[in-house]
Structure 1
């Protein structure tokens, strides 16, 4: 289906024999040694990719934890401020309760004076009652004498009867006043007992007991707020210490990532060296196939330019316009329609190269995928997890592997990496890439990913 693997020179000489690859057959023992190196390098690359992937996962988790801790620290600070405000309000409430107590005591003093005045009114009413009683007796006697006087005492009798009736009314009113004053005296005396301050709590009235309960409750709130503020302060200090440790851990992870990068590059360089030795390896068919397919994509694009199907400016358009309401973010460019028409005929055919092939995509030099394999070109559903795994077209993959493949201009590039398949599934795979050059200008690369 694809042409035989093209042997390429490494610095113009064969890696072991010192001559161009393909000029003579390598000795069997050398072939075996190189084959062994290739397999060990491949195994080392796989392990390095796994370790790097786990480190990346740990970095992401660490970053999320740092963000969560920072947010929690902010919330604790807000709680501390709120507790301080509660403390201030509580102190103010205690002052208000004390002022209320003082005001009530002043009212109690006035009430005592009112009770004394009411008792004076009661005594005066009693005196009026006695006077009214005496007046009635006098009026009664006057009435009797007036009747004895006959016609001459008739006018005086009328006056005496009127005075007697008036005295009766005054006596009745006085008694009502005495009764009302008596009731007021009892009520005000009870109120006085309720609002008067006493030394012993058990002798206090219900009002002062209620004030004491409020005061005690406010004091408890104040104490609790102060205790909570102290706890929050201690917690804040601990979180600052944890945050510092997390930053230190992050720096250590960064250093480990850099070292794992070097480790991964060593394995990739070994694989690359073995591949350039002109000796057939398990990666050779994929390298050969991706080079041939990249040439086919190149020809299709150059034919499009020659027939004015697209302009050079449109083909190299890097003004990626975001597609609204897409997550992960998708973009469009001026060459997507051409890519949709031309690329699938090459990309889909590459999937039948081997059951190990995972995908084959043409990307521009920035890692932009205009059109992916059909099985990954589903419209987004609004489910981020599903869309991440199944809507991989119109997206920019500018991660380490993606950008390296997109910008590689050597005959081929072989990399090892761990791919996120979605839903927490990861697969370690290899990727062979070959450059796509149009009119002498590097456009991007063809990426062919396959399982070990």
Structure 2
């Protein structure tokens, strides 16, 4: 049976219009003409389906790019909003800095006034010290005169002379202390007066500014520059935000148009697939016929193997139809196990690997459950995953995975005798292969379990 299918897949079927041996060429019969037309139509529709699948794939790629751009624009809008908030904060800070400088200027003016009061007080102290000096001088003169008179009085004035000398010495000390106070107060007065002038010299009336006021003026200039730059940046940000919003609207419009184009390409692809199916169902041997028969026979074998496994109690129906897919930790793309994974590993390869040898155009043959889960793939695609190498895993580690894309689910859930589809297969790393796929349903005791998918090249 498989040898016959291989021969049919490897060459075109004989034309029904060819004549018998030894009679020579005959005019084509009506049946022969019909067969030729159907085969030509099949070839044309097959090419049409291939182009439709390629267009659909390109639209899908474009849709992903546009979606990514839309997400990027949304992220940009959010970032611009954050920048705007930061600029508002800068403006608020510069205003607060200006107010702080003004408060400092006012405070300095108040300090200058206070320092002026201190200078006035020190001058009063200096005046008082001067008066004390004068009094001390007069006291010394009085004490000197008293001492002279005491000496004249002789022995009677000796005690008074001692007191007069003591008063004279004390007056001298008071005079010296007063002069020291006056000197210190004079120096302090000079310094405080200079400091007071520094505090008051704010440049008003054309006078020169002190270093303190110049420093405040420099701060104000720098703050004004920061505020100006922030305002310019804010204006630029607002323009960017406006343009970003416009681009976002344009991208949304492009996405809607792409969705419409994608839907049209999808309908076009489905129409071409329906035409291919109808031609294949016409009874005329066409290019896809051997693959359809091969997948139907493979599905029948898988069904029989599963029914026998249930009958022999190698697995029960509940486990065979298990849909609780358990993720395998650390896998990328994500892999899963179910309660029927082990029995699939035991039963499916004998059918799947044999169908691979059916034609050199066959890319893979796999049994999937109704949700697109592939328990075990062809051996070449059952390589253990490599950590961190998603592209390699996508291409070489395709078992224990769920393929629930349009093609995968359609094949998994199809319950008609067969289904023909055309699609792009993702091989990872941005690489795609354009394939045809024939699928047939797998049933166990009358219950739909999934299907067999047979993919082949053009």
Runs of 4+ in 1 over 6 A off after TM superposition: none
**Superposition pairs of residues 283-322 of structure 1, within 5 angstroms:** 283-322=288-327
Tell me: CA distance 1:124–1:393, structure 2 relative to 1, closer, same or farther (3 Å).
same
* Bigger mean CA offset, 438-447 vs 32-41: 32-41
Q: Which residue in the other structure is 1:405 paired with?
A: 411
Tell me: CA distance 1:442–1:191, structure 2 relative to 1, closer, same or farther (3 Å).
same
Contact kept, 8 Å, 1:414 with 1:432, in 2: the verdict is: yes
**Superposition pairs of residues 34-433 of structure 1, within 5 angstroms:** 34-147=38-151, 149-196=153-200, 197-200=202-205, 203-383=208-388, 384-433=390-439
Q: TM-score, normalised by structure 2?
A: 0.87
Q: Separation in 1 of the partners of 2:207 and 2:243?
A: 47
Q: Tell me by how many angstroms 1:250 deviates.
A: 0.4
Deviations 1:192-236 (A, max 9, x none): 122214415762222222222223333333343333333333322
* Bigger mean CA offset, 48-57 vs 353-362: 353-362
Deviations 1:265-308 (A, max 9, x none): 23223322332333443333322322221111111101111111
Tell me: CA distance 1:120–1:411, structure 2 relative to 1, closer, same or farther (3 Å).
same
* Bigger mean CA offset, 303-312 vs 84-93: 84-93
1:444 maps onto 2:454 in alignment:
no
Deviations 1:154-186 (A, max 9, x none): 323322332232223222222222222122212
Q: Structure 1: any 5+ residue segments left out of the alignment? A: 7-15, 18-24
Q: Tell me by how many angstroms 1:137 deviates.
A: 4.2
Computed over aligned residues only, the root mean square deviation of the Cα atoms, in angstroms, reads 2.6
Deviations 1:113-159 (A, max 9, x none): 21122122223323333333443344345445544554433323322
Contact kept, 8 Å, 2:143 with 2:164, in 1: the verdict is: yes
Q: Separation in 2 of the partners of 1:224 and 1:145?
A: 89
Secondary structure of the structure 2 residue equivalent to 1:308: coil
* Bigger mean CA offset, 201-210 vs 393-402: 201-210
* Bigger mean CA offset, 67-76 vs 228-237: 228-237
Q: TM-score, normalised by structure 1?
A: 0.88
Contact kept, 8 Å, 1:419 with 1:429, in 2: the verdict is: yes
Q: Tell me by how many angstroms 1:421 deviates.
A: 0.6
Deviations 1:307-327 (A, max 9, x none): 111112221122333334433
Q: Structure 2: any 5+ residue segments left out of the alignment? A: 7-15, 18-28
* Bigger mean CA offset, 272-281 vs 413-422: 272-281
Q: Separation in 2 of the partners of 1:166 and 1:391?
A: 113
Corresponding residue pairs, total: 436
Secondary structure of the structure 2 residue equivalent to 1:203: coil
Tell me: CA distance 1:186–1:282, structure 2 relative to 1, closer, same or farther (3 Å).
farther
Secondary structure of the structure 2 residue equivalent to 1:188: helix
Q: Separation in 1 of the partners of 2:249 and 2:339?
A: 48
Q: Tell me by how many angstroms 1:363 deviates.
A: 0.6
Q: Tell me by how many angstroms 1:66 deviates.
A: 1.0
Contact kept, 8 Å, 2:5 with 2:358, in 1: the verdict is: no
* Bigger mean CA offset, 140-149 vs 358-367: 140-149
Secondary structure of the structure 1 residue equivalent to 2:394: helix
Q: Which residue in the other structure is 1:22 paired with?
A: none
Secondary structure of the structure 1 residue equivalent to 2:2: coil
